[in-house]
Amino acid sequence: MRTILSFGLALLLPLSGVVQAGDAPHGTVAPALQPFVDRQIIAGAVALVADKDRVLAVETVGCSSLSAKAPMQTNTLFWLASITKTFTATALMMLVDEGKVNVDDPVEKYLPEFKGQQVADATDKTRRHPPPHPVLIKELLTHTSGLIGPNDAPIKRTNVLKEDAEQYAAAPLKWEPGTRYQYSNAGINTAGRIIEVVSGLPYGQFIQQRLLEPLGMTETTFWPDARQAARLALTSQRNKEKTALEDLPNHPDPAWLNQPTNAPSVPLIVRTYSGDALRAYPNRYAAPASGLFSTAPDLAKFGQMMLNHGVCRGRRLVSEASFKRMTTLAPGTVALKPAPGIGLVWFVKQHDDEGLAAGSFGHNGARGPALFVDPAHQLVLILLIESSDIHLLGQPRGAEQKKLRTDFYRTAIQKYGRTPRP
C-alpha cells in the first residue's frame, strides 16, 4: 500500500492519505521512488521538498512495517542517525557566535582531560610520541582528529557522555591530528561534550532549548515517547535467501516500553549497525553523533533554517559567518575519497552529484535518511528510509541506493527548483 500527499503552496492538509494497493503512484516525486519499492530495494520512504518558506510536497511510498503491511505515512518517525551530527555542529556554532567557543582552539582548552595526548606509533602500538599540535575543535568537526573510535579497544560504552569523552582522551591518537580523514562518532560526541561544559546544560537539553523549540520541531527527539513509538519505521533487511526484504528481527513492538527512573519513557531499541549500537534508550545520554529521531515535516524546519542562512521566521539562530563556515569547504581539509568535501560536519557537493548542484550541503544517516539543502535551486530535499544495508558501497544494492537518491533529487529539482544563476 502507498500513502501520498502532495501540494504546491503550504502544508495545510492532514498528514496522511491512503491510496489502495494496486493504484498507480501519483504525486510529483512518488513515481520516481515507487520502482525501488516494487523491486524491493527499499520497503518504503517519505520524501519531502520545501523552499525557504513552504513545504511544496511530502509524499510516501511503500510500508513502514513489512510484517504488518502498514502503509508509510507522512508522519512516520525515523531514526536520523548521523544527520544528528548537523544539529551538533549548528549548536556548537551558536556558542561560537556568543564568543564562548572558538573552533580553532585546542579541545584541551575546554576539556582538560585531553591535555598531553600522544600519538600511537603506526608500526609499534606500544610506542607513542607527542603530536605537532593538540587536537583542535575544527578537527573534531571534519573527522580529522585521530581520536580513537567507540568500537576500538579499550573503549567501553557508557551511559554518560562525560565518561565516554574521558575514554577518548585517555586513549592514544590513531594518527597526527589534521593529517588523515576517518569518519568519527567519537569526535562529534566530544564536540557535544564541549557544548555541555561551555553552556552548563546537558547536551540534549541544549539542543532542545536552543534549536528544537525555536524551530518548532515538536516531533524531533532523542527519546521517542509511546505516542511516537507507535509511528516508528521498522528497519528492513534482505532475507537469508537475498530474494526479498523483511523487517529486521527483534525490533520491539512499539507497545514494549520501559519505565526507567531517570529517563523518559522510551521504546527499547536494541540493534546495531556497523558496530555502532542503537542501544536501549532508557538511562542513556542523548548521542551527539547519532541519537535523534524525527519526521520529514519536522526535519524540514531545520533544513529551511539552513536554506535561510541561519534564520527562522525572521529570527537569526546562527550568524551568517558561522553558517558559511559550516557549509563551505574547510581550508586545508584532507581530501575525501570518493566522498564530497566537508565544511564543519556538513558535507558539501563539489560538483553536480546525484542531481544536486555544486555547493549543496547536507548529511546522510546510517540506515538511509538524507537531508540536503540545494541553494542553487533554493530547495530543501529530504528522503527518509530505514534500511539495514543502505551503505553496501561497491555492491549492487549500494549502486541502487545511489540511483534512488539521484532519481529523487533530479525529479524534485526538475519540478520545483529555481533555475540557477549563471
Query: 3-state SS of 277-301?
Result: EECCCCCCCCCCCCCCEECHHHHHH
Q: Is residue 129 part of a domain?
A: yes
Does 54 share its domain with 107?
no
Q: For residue 187, what pLDDT is reported?
A: 96
Does 189 share its domain with 110?
yes
Judged against a pLDDT cut of 50, whether residue 271 lies above it is answered with no
Is the pTM value of this prediction over 0.85? Answer: yes
Judged against a pLDDT cut of 80, whether residue 350 lies above it is answered with yes
Per the structure, how many domains does the chain have? Answer: 2
pLDDT in tens, 65-86: 888 899 999 999 998 999 999 9
pLDDT in tens, 119-169: 998 777 778 999 999 999 999 999 999 998 756 766 777 778 999 999 999
Report the percent of the chain where pLDDT is more than 70. Answer: 80
Q: For residue 235, what pLDDT is reported?
A: 83
Q: For residue 269, what pLDDT is reported?
A: 47
Does 127 share its domain with 22?
no
Position 21 confidence tier, pLDDT thresholds 50, 70, 90: very low
Q: Which of 167-171, 260-264, 315-319 has the lowest mean pLDDT?
A: 260-264
Position 337 confidence tier, pLDDT thresholds 50, 70, 90: low
Q: CA–CA separation, 408 vs 14, rounded Å?
A: 23
Judged against a pLDDT cut of 90, whether residue 257 lies above it is answered with no
Position 193 confidence tier, pLDDT thresholds 50, 70, 90: very high
Which cell numbers hold the place of 189? 560526541
Of the two residues 191 and 284, the one the predictor is more confident about is 191
Q: For residue 12, what pLDDT is reported?
A: 33
Q: Which of 79-93, 165-179, 221-235 has the lowest mean pLDDT?
A: 221-235
Position 336 confidence tier, pLDDT thresholds 50, 70, 90: low
Does 114 share its domain with 29?
no
Q: Is residue 253 part of a domain?
A: no
Position 379 confidence tier, pLDDT thresholds 50, 70, 90: very high
Q: Is residue 257 part of a domain?
A: no
Does 109 share its domain with 63?
no
Q: What is the mean pLDDT of residues 392-416?
A: 80
Of the two residues 83 and 7, the one the predictor is more confident about is 83
Does 241 share its domain with 301?
yes
Non-local CB neighbours of 337 within 8 Å, separated by 6+ positions: none
Mean pLDDT of the chain: 83
Does 389 share its domain with 405?
yes
Q: Is residue 193 part of a domain?
A: yes
Containing structural domain, residue 302: 4-78+233-247+290-416
Does 189 share its domain with 238?
no
Q: Which of 13-17, 197-201, 261-265, 323-327 has the lowest mean pLDDT?
A: 13-17
Position 5 confidence tier, pLDDT thresholds 50, 70, 90: very low
Q: Is the peptide bond before 260 cis (omega within 30 degrees of 0)?
A: no
Judged against a pLDDT cut of 70, whether residue 277 lies above it is answered with no
According to the per-residue pLDDT averaged within each range, which of 208-212, 243-247, 347-351 is highest? Answer: 208-212
Q: Which of 5-19, 62-76, 192-206 has the lowest mean pLDDT?
A: 5-19
Does 202 share its domain with 104?
yes
Q: Is residue 344 part of a domain?
A: yes
Judged against a pLDDT cut of 70, whether residue 190 lies above it is answered with yes
Does 109 share its domain with 240?
no
CATH number at residue 113: 3.40.710.10
Of the two residues 1 and 177, the one the predictor is more confident about is 177
Does 367 share its domain with 402?
yes
Judged against a pLDDT cut of 90, whether residue 417 lies above it is answered with yes
